Amino acid sequence: METTVPAPNAPRVLPRAEWVKTLPQTIVASCVLLLDAEDRILLLRYAEGQPGAGIWGLPGGMLDQGEDPVTAAHREVCEETGIVLDRPPRFIGYDHRADVMDAGPVIDFYFHGGRLPADLSVRRSTEHDDHGLFALDDLASTALMPPLPALTALHTAALAGTVVCLREGRPA
């Protein structure tokens, strides 16, 4: 006869709803790489008073409640530049950062939004004070997020049709 005796100090198993509340909260964002005919990247500079003021970055931002990364990519590009993507952006990579500005972990999804027409005008949101098209070679001394190694890897992935995995802003 087999008898099972509970261990006196066994850890208690939490109901799923309680257990989920113990998991780390992760911020999720979508960013879009847009290129012109010369393979220059559209970057936006964060305005004074914004987190990251003075830093240049890709159009993008955090997902809204219930929003998926592709929908967020469309929305963020439109909100930040006035550009409406005419097709679904292509996934080109992700970056996992363990802690961003003491807010905890962040996962950024990166998409290639296509080529910009030569006559396109950018209508910036109030969170940005400047924009421009930049060749990678011209960004060595520029304050960037993502950092230059990540931006270079994403640029390569966009042109080659591949995907890059980043960790803390660096190719993994």
What three-state secondary structure class fits 95? strand
CB atoms under 10 Å from CB of 18, counted, come to 9
Average pLDDT over residues 70-85: 97
Query: Which domains, ranges and CATH numbers included, belong to the chain?
Result: 24-171 (3.90.79.10)
What percentage of residues in the chain have a pLDDT greater than 90? 73
What is the band of 20 on the pLDDT scale with cuts at 50, 70, 90?
Answer: confident
Tell me the whole-structure pTM to 2 decimals. Answer: 0.87
Question: What confidence tens digit (pLDDT) does each residue in 141-151 have?
Answer: 999 999 999 99
Distances (CA, A) of 68 to 36, 71, 88, 91: 26, 6, 13, 13
